[in-house]
Amino acid sequence: MKPKQINQVLINLVKNAVEVIQHEIGSIIINANISEGKLNLSISDNGEGIPEEVLSEVFIPFFTTRKEGSGIGLSISRQIIRTHEGELRINSKQKNGTRSEMLFPMVNSLT
């Protein structure tokens, strides 16, 4: 596992969470756990969430809903996670925030 690449993905996901929190009581929760033989690193926010019609497009290169975004961050992040035999998932509901999860098989996450 290349820690610098995983760190970059974490930074990108946290940065995305920070950018969507637009109210005084914003929060970001970073969690790590092991379940069913997988290491799960997650970043959750209580922002506005991603509209359902947009959620299926967030990993498409250069797709963005932000004026200043390039739309490349999640696409590259997913590719980095895949090269580490992991999976990147984005779960979101409007008005209820977003949860980004990186899942790695335990065998590969410990080497």
- The beta-strand segments (E) located in the chain are 28-35, 38-45, 87-93, 97-105
What is the distance between the alpha carbons of residues 76 and 83, in angstroms, rounded to a whole number?
A: 11
Structural domain that includes position 70: 3-109
pTM over cut 0.75: yes
Split into its structural domains, the chain has a count of: 1
What is the distance between the alpha carbons of residues 13 and 92, in angstroms, rounded to a whole number?
A: 13
Secondary structure of residue 106 in the 3-state scheme:
helix
Q: For position 92, which CATH number holds? A: 3.30.565.10
Q: Which pLDDT tens digit goes with each residue over 92-101?
A: 998 899 999 9
Q: Which pLDDT tens digit goes with each residue over 69-109?
A: 788 899 999 999 999 999 999 999 988 999 999 999 986 44
